[in-house]
Every structure is written in structure tokens, then in C-alpha cells.
Amino acid sequence: MTDDDLPSPPEDEEGLPESLGRTVGCFSLIAVFFVAAAILLWMLIR
């Protein structure tokens, strides 16, 4: 009775879809931070 629990193969290649959303959110936050830092550095150097 675990058909609804595991619609896809157990543990998709890397990580579960649930943790995927959290990882994407974290990655996007870090990416935005790095972009802001890069722009600030570029403006200072320029």
C-alpha cells in the first residue's frame, strides 16, 4: 500500500524531489549573493 508514497523509483538518481526544491532555493540565494558581490567589485575596480 505504498503506491502513492513512491510514484517514482526509490530515490531518483541524486536526492529526493522534496529536498530538490530546498536545494534550488538555497542555490538561487547564493547565486544572487555572488552576482551582487561581483557587480560591487566590478564597480569598485572600474
Query: Which grid coordinates belong to 26?
Result: 538555497
**How far is CA 44 from its chain centroid?**
29
Name the pTM for this structure: 0.49
- What pLDDT was estimated at residue 45? 95
18: closest CA among 31, 30, 36, 5?
5
Query: Which grid coordinates belong to 32?
Result: 544572487
Query: Which grid coordinates belong to 42?
Result: 566590478
- What pLDDT was estimated at residue 28? 92
How do residues 1-46 score in pLDDT, each as one tens digit? 455 554 555 554 555 567 777 888 889 999 999 999 999 999 999 8
Q: Which residue is listed with cell 508514497?
A: 5
**What is the secondary structure of 1-21 as a DSSP string?**
--TTT-SS-SS-SSS-HHHHH
